[in-house]
Amino acid sequence: MCLAIPARIEELTTPGNAIVNLGGVRKEISLALVDDAAIGEYVIVHVGYALQKVDEQEAIRTLEMFAEMGQLDELHAELNGTVS
């Protein structure tokens, strides 16, 4: 299953890229589709690209819903390449 999920930007790396925290998993993504993203902001991430910025409260609410549905473990496995 592929989902777009909120992630917090933790570090800006090479121009146009960032390290984000996706529910405890750190991953480098592209910021090519998002203007002026900064450390501490949340973005919606899908297949390695930030699609848009999202409000922190909305991001947290969405992550809590994924956790309630038991989907965070599946997302972690997918992000780590352990789901076929």
Task: Say if residue 38's pLDDT is above 70.
Answer: yes
Q: How far apart are CA 28 and CA 83, in angstroms?
A: 19
**Domain 5-79: which CATH class?**
mainly beta
Tell me whether residue 61 is exposed, middle or buried, using C-beta atoms within 10 angstroms of its C-beta: 0 to 12, 13 to 18, 19 or more.
exposed
pLDDT of residue 84: 41
Can you give the residue ranges of every domain in the chain?
A: 5-79
Task: Say if residue 66's pLDDT is above 50.
Answer: yes
pLDDT of residue 48: 93
